[in-house]
């Protein structure tokens, strides 16, 4: 891994469960200073946070167990969060199939494992605002509804798969599992803005 200058944006990766190590690698490659976040104190050190893919119910249990719910919610009220897959489920306003609690930081309704067998696990090419990008889907949620403040940056099978709302970014796929840094750079640009 390259070590980036200490003027680079500080990206924390929530490291309770899921594929946080892959995010750490890709944000390091994209030029960020990356650290793993497991405590309130570590969260205070970063400019933006990644909530990785994994299993959202397990991640929620660990967030509660570690007493991080309030810290994460207030972080998201003033700073940027990038959620991928399970991370999108945690950011959404409404979760179905089954319902579970979520931060409500983005005006999204998501259905867990919404593509069913069709997208159990697949690599596809996306168009992100005119730029080709590679996307890996693994038991992805479907964004069933995106509120008026949500901007859709990419779609697949006629459904939004990469969206932003104000300072937050969400991908139902896993950009961190390819060497394509398009989406990581997009998040870093939000931190610099």
What is the 3 state secondary structure string of 64-108?
Answer: HHCCCHHHHHHHHHHCEEEEECHHHHHHCCEEECCCCCCCCCCCE
Query: How many CB atoms neighbour CB 166 within 10 A?
Result: 12
Positions annotated as catalytic residues are 85, 174, 176
Which DSSP string do the residues of 8-45 spell out, in sequence order?
S-EEEEE-SSSSHHHHHHHHHHTT-EEEEE-SHHHHHT
Cα(114)–Cα(92) distance, rounded to whole angstroms?
14
35 neighbors 42 (Cβ within 8 angstroms): yes
Instruction: Give the nearest distance from C-beta 100 to ligand GLN in angstroms.
Output: 9
Cα(89)–Cα(120) distance, rounded to whole angstroms?
17
Of the residues 23, 112, 168, 186, which one makes contact with ligand GLN according to CB under 6 A: 112
Cα(79)–Cα(1) distance, rounded to whole angstroms?
26
110 neighbors 144 (Cβ within 8 angstroms): yes
Of 32 and 89, the one with the shorter C-beta distance to ligand GLN is 89
Instruction: Give the nearest distance from C-beta 164 to ligand GLN in angstroms.
Output: 19
How many residues sit in the footprint of ligand GLN (CB under 6 A)? 11
Q: Does position 177 bind ligand GLN by CB under 6 A?
A: no
Instruction: Give the nearest distance from C-beta 60 to ligand GLN in angstroms.
Output: 9
Q: Does position 171 bind ligand GLN by CB under 6 A?
A: no
Q: Does position 62 bind ligand GLN by CB under 6 A?
A: no
Binding characters for ligand GLN, 69-108, by CB under 6 A (x = yes): ----------------xx--x-------------------
Q: Does position 122 bind ligand GLN by CB under 6 A?
A: no
Q: Does position 172 bind ligand GLN by CB under 6 A?
A: no
Instruction: Give the nearest distance from C-beta 149 to ligand GLN in angstroms.
Output: 24
Interface residue list for ligand GLN (CB under 6 A): 53-56, 85-86, 89, 112-113, 138-139
């Amino acid at each position: 891994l390259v070590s980036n200058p200490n003027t680079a944006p500080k990206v924390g990766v929530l490291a309770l469960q899921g594929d946080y190590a892959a995010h750490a690698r890709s944000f390091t490659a994209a030029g960020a200073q990356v650290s793993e976040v497991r405590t309130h104190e570590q969260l205070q050190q970063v400019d933006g946070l990644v909530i990785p893919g994994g299993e959202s119910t397990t991640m929620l249990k660990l967030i509660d167990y570690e007493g991080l719910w309030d810290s994460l919610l207030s972080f998201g009220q003033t700073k940027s969060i990038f959620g991928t897959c399970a991370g999108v489920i945690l950011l959404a306003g409404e979760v179905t199939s089954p319902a579970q609690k979520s931060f409500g930081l983005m005006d999204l309704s998501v259905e867990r494992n919404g593509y069913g067998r069709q997208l159990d696990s697949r690599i596809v090419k996306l168009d992100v605002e005119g730029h080709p990008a590679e996307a890996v889907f693994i038991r992805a949620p479907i964004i069933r509804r995106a509120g008026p403040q949500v901007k859709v940056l990419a779609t697949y099978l006629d459904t939004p798969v990469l969206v932003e709302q104000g300072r937050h970014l969400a991908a139902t796929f896993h950009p961190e599992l390819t060497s394509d840094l398009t989406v990581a750079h997009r998040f870093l640009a939000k931190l610099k803005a």
